[in-house]
Chain A
Amino acid sequence: MLIQTNVLRRFFIEMKFAVCLHFLLFVAAKAGDFDSDFDGGYTLSVEHAFGAGGEFSSRGTVTVKSVKSGFAVFTQDRPLNHEEIEKLRHAAESDGFYMIRIPTKPELYVSTFIKACSLYESELSDVIRIHLDQTGDVIGVSLTTVPALCQGLEPPDSNLTNFNTSVEVAQTVTGPTPDTSTYLQKMAKDKEQKVAGEQDNRSFFAKYWMYIVPVVVFMLITSASDQGSGGGGGAR
Chain B
Amino acid sequence: MAASTCILNFVKCLIILFFVNVSLALYADQVGKFDWNQKLIGKVKYALFDHSTHSSKRIVVATEENVIAALNSKTGAILWRHVFEKTSVGIVHALYNVGNDVVTLTGGGNIIRSWNSATGVLHWESVASKSTATDNPQSLLMLEKKTLVVLTSDTVFAVGLATGKIKWTAEVPNKDTVVYKHFYTDLDNLYLIGTVEGSHVTIATISLETGKVKLQTQVPASWVLLSTTCKMLQSGRLICFEPRMKYLYSLQPPSGDQFVPTALSDVMGQLMVIKDVSFTDLHADSVGVQVAPDHHIVITVDASGQAKLVKDLPQVFGIDNLSGEVIWQKLIPGIVPFQQLGKETLPLFVLRTTAHFPHPPEYAVLGKHKATGNGLLDVFNPITGRCMTREVIQLNYRVQHVSQLAQHDADFVRPVIFVDTNKLIHVYPETATDVLMEAVAHNYLFSADADTGVVTGYRMSLTAEKGFTSEPVWSVILSKDTQRITNVVAKRQNEHVHSQGRVLGDRSVLYKYLNPNLVVFTTEGQDDQEKSYVTLYLIDVISGQVVFSANHQRAKGPVNIVHSENWVVYTYWNQRLRRHEVAALEMYEGRTQSNTTAFSSLAPPPTPIVERQAYILPYTVVAMTTTITEKGITNRHILLALADGGILDLPKALLDPRRPNTPTAEHREEGLIPYMPEIGAPKEMIINYNRSVFNIDAIYSAPAGLESTTLIFAYGLDLFCTRVWPSKMFDVLKDDFDYWLISVVLTALILSSIILQKMAARKQLHAAWK
Contacts and interface: CB of A to CB of B under 8 A. Distances in A.
A217 interface: no
Nearest to A36: B528
A137 B583 CA distance: 25
Interface in B511-555: 527-528, 534-537, 539-540, 543-546, 548-553, 555
A173 B549 contact: yes
Contacts of A183: 661, 675-677
A93 to B, nearest CB: 16
Nearest to A180: B677
Q: By DSSP majority rule, is chain B's interface helix, strand, loop, or mixed?
A: strand
B351 interface: no
Contacts of B540: 142
A176 B583 contact: yes
Interface residues of A, number: 45
Given A137-B480, A170-B546, A179-B661, A114 B535 contact: no
Contacts of A5: none
Interface stretch (B104-112, B607-615, B629-637, B717-725): B607-615
Given A129-B545, A142-B544, A134 B675 contact: no
Contact of A174 (B480, B550, B574, B607): B550
A174 B553 contact: yes
B140 interface: no
Contacts of B678: 178
B552 A140 contact: no
Interface in A148-186: 148-149, 170, 172-180, 182-183, 186
B176 to A, nearest CB: 25
Interface string B474-491: 111110100000000000
B675 A142 contact: no
Nearest to A100: B474
A71 interface: no
Nearest to B553: A174
A178 B543 contact: no
B661 A186 contact: yes
Interface in B675-713: 675-678
Interface string B536-580: 110110011110111111010000000000000000001000000
B677 A179 contact: yes
Contact of B549 (A105, A133, A142): A133
A53 B466 CA distance: 15
Given A52-B459, A172-B535, A175-B583, A110 B476 contact: yes
B466 to A, nearest CB: 13
Contacts of B545: 112, 129, 140, 142
Interface in A112-154: 112-115, 118, 129, 131, 133-135, 137-142, 144, 148-149
Contacts, number: 133
Given A52-B473, A172-B551, A177-B614, A142 B546 contact: yes
Contact of A108 (B454, B474, B614): B454
B471 interface: yes
A235 interface: no
Contacts of B539: 140
Contact of B616 (A104, A129, A178, A210): A178
B615 A134 contact: no
Given A99-B473, A109-B475, A137-B480, A175 B543 contact: no
A111 interface: yes
Contacts of A133: 480, 535, 549, 551
A74 interface: no
Contacts of B598: none
A141 B474 CA distance: 9
B255 interface: no
A36 B477 CA distance: 17
A116 B604 CA distance: 15
By CB atoms of chain B within 10 A, which of A118, A172, A180 has the most? A172
Given A108-B454, A113-B473, A170-B607, A176 B675 contact: no
Interface of B: 3, 454, 459, 461, 471-478, 480, 527-528, 534-537, 539-540, 543-546, 548-553, 555, 574, 581, 583-585, 602-604, 607, 612-616, 657, 661-662, 675-678
Interface of A: 36, 52-53, 97, 99, 101, 104-105, 108-115, 118, 129, 131, 133-135, 137-142, 144, 148-149, 170, 172-180, 182-183, 186, 210
15 contacts: A97-B473, A101-B475, A108-B454, A112-B543, A113-B474, A115-B602, A118-B603, A139-B478, A141-B544, A172-B550, A175-B552, A176-B613, A177-B581, A177-B614, A182-B675
